[in-house]
Structure 1
Amino acid sequence: MTASDRPPLVLASASPRRLELLARIGVVPDRVAPAEVDETPRKDELPRLLAQRLARAKAEAAQAAAPDAIVLAADTVVGVGRRILGKPADEAEARRFLELMSGRRHRVMTGICLIRPDGKRSERLVTTILAFQRLTPQQIEAHIASGEWRGVAGGYQIQKRAEAWVRFLSGSHSNVVGLPLFETAQLLRGAGWLRP
C-alpha cells in the first residue's frame, strides 16, 4: 500500500500529547476526531479492563463517523492496586492521588484500538510500572500550584516536573506520556498504513 492509496488515518483523541508522540515516529493523522464516551468506571472494573474498554469505545464511535478510514484510539488509566486514578476533578483529588502514589509503585495502562475500513479490529494493552520517591508536602503543593495535574490520568505528566520523582520504571516511557509508540507502530504496520 502506497501513501497515495492508503485509507486516511483518524486519531480518535483530543490529546496533544498523543499527536506529539505520533509525530516522533513520522505519523501525522489525516484527521483528529475526538470521540465523546462516558469514561466512568463500571462497578468493580479493574484499571486494565477500563483502559481496554474505553479505547475500544472511542475507536468504534469514531469509526461510525469515518467508515472509510483507519481509526486509532487510545485510553490511559493509572492504577494503584485495584484502584483507578482517573483525571482529577479538582486540586483536592489531585493531592489525594499524589499522596497515594508517594513512595510506592503504581501502574500506567494504555489500551490501544485500531479499526480498519473493513471492520477488522486490532487491540493492545500496554502496562508500565513506576515508583515515585516519597513526596514531601512541599513537592505535592508545588505540583498542585503548577497546574500540571489538570486533565491527565493520575494527576501528573512524566514528561514534566514529575519525571524527577521517578525512582523506578519498568516498561514503555511513551506509554506513561500517553501512547506506547512501539505497539502503536506495530498496529499501523499491520494495517498497512505505516511502512516496515
Structure 2
Amino acid sequence: MLKDFLKDKEIILASGSPRRQQFFRELNIPFTTDVRPVKEVYPPSLENEEITDFLAELKAEAFQKEIKLNQILITSDTIVCHKGKALGKPETPEEAKAMLSSLSGHSHEVITSVCFTTSKIKRTLNAKTRVSFKELTRDEIDYYVDNFKPFDKAGGYAIQEWIGLIGITNIEGSYFNVVGLPTHLVYDALLDMGRL
C-alpha cells in the first residue's frame, strides 16, 4: 500500500543499522542506504527527546545540499534515558556492564527520533517507550555482554536478544521503538509525504 503512495519518491535511509533496514523491508518500502560519518555530539543543555531530535537532524545536515526533488532522506537516533542521564552506545565491555547494572531492577525510557528531509521540508518525530528490567545478577550481565557484545546498542542492550528475553518485565509503548525505529510513526509520516 505504502509503495503505491511512494512510487514517485526515492527513499534514502541514512542508517547502517541492520535492524532499521530490516524494518523498511518488512514495511515493503523500497529504499537505498547512504551512511555518512557524523560526530554525534550535542549541547550539554539538551535533555531526553531534545537530544535525539538534535542528533537525527544533525545526521541529515550531511546531505543537506544534495537532496533532489523526488527524494526523502530518513535519519534517526536512539538513546536510553535513566535517572536523568542519557545513555548512548557503550565503547567497552566495562561500560556496557556498568550501564546494565544501573538499569537492573529499574525502569527507563527509550527515545527514538526520526527526521524526514526533502528538498523543501524537514520534519522530526519522536517516540518514547518505558522499559522495566528485573534485578539482573552479575553473572547474567557478564554472560550477555561477553557473548552478545552490545557495543552498537544504546544503553548497552538489545531488547530482542537474550538479555531482553530473560530480563525485561514490562514495556509501555512501542516495542519496535526499543528495537530502534518507531515503525508506526515512520509509516504514517511517509503516507503523508507520499500525498504531497
1:65 has 2:63 as partner: no
Summarize deviations over 1:143-191 as a string: whole Å, max 9, x none.
Answer: 1111341211111111111222110100001100110110000111111
**Identical aligned residues as a percent:** 28
Rounded Cα–Cα distance in structure 1 between residues aligned with 2:184 and 2:145: 32
Residue 5 of structure 1 deviates from its aligned partner by 5.5
Which residue matches 2:132? Answer: 131
Rounded Cα–Cα distance in structure 2 between residues aligned with 1:19 and 1:128: 21
Q: Which region of structure 1 is more displaced relative to structure 2, 165-174 or 32-41? A: 32-41
Rounded Cα–Cα distance in structure 2 between residues aligned with 1:75 and 1:4: 23
Which residue matches 1:150? Answer: 151
How is 1:1-150 mapped onto 2 (pairs within 5 angstroms)? 6-29=8-31, 31-68=32-69, 69-117=71-119, 119-150=120-151
C-alpha RMSD over aligned residues: 1.8
Whether contact under 8 Å (1:17, 1:177) holds in the other structure is yes
Rounded Cα–Cα distance in structure 2 between residues aligned with 1:120 and 1:79: 29
Rounded Cα–Cα distance in structure 1 between residues aligned with 2:140 and 2:56: 33
User: Amino acid of the residue matched to residue 15 of structure 1?
Assistant: S
The 3 A distance-change label for structure 1 pair 158 and 58 is same
Rounded Cα–Cα distance in structure 2 between residues aligned with 1:5 and 1:144: 43
Rounded Cα–Cα distance in structure 2 between residues aligned with 1:93 and 1:185: 35
Rounded Cα–Cα distance in structure 1 between residues aligned with 2:8 and 2:92: 43
Counterpart secondary structure, 2:63 = helix
Rounded Cα–Cα distance in structure 1 between residues aligned with 2:159 and 2:172: 14
Counterpart secondary structure, 1:124 = strand
| TM-score normalised to structure 2 length | 0.90
Counterpart secondary structure, 1:53 = helix
Structure 1: state its 5+ residue gaps: none
User: Amino acid of the residue matched to residue 94 of structure 1?
Assistant: A
Counterpart secondary structure, 2:127 = strand
The 3 A distance-change label for structure 1 pair 185 and 3 is closer
Rounded Cα–Cα distance in structure 1 between residues aligned with 2:11 and 2:18: 16
User: Amino acid of the residue matched to residue 123 of structure 2?
Assistant: S
Structure 2: state its 5+ residue gaps: none
Whether contact under 8 Å (1:51, 1:109) holds in the other structure is yes
Rounded Cα–Cα distance in structure 1 between residues aligned with 2:147 and 2:153: 13
Q: Which region of structure 1 is more displaced relative to structure 2, 20-29 or 84-93? A: 20-29
How many residue pairs get aligned? The number is: 191
Whether contact under 8 Å (2:105, 2:134) holds in the other structure is yes
Whether contact under 8 Å (1:148, 1:157) holds in the other structure is no
Residue 2 of structure 1 deviates from its aligned partner by 5.2
Summarize deviations over 1:62-88 as a string: whole Å, max 9, x none.
Answer: 343333411111111111032011100
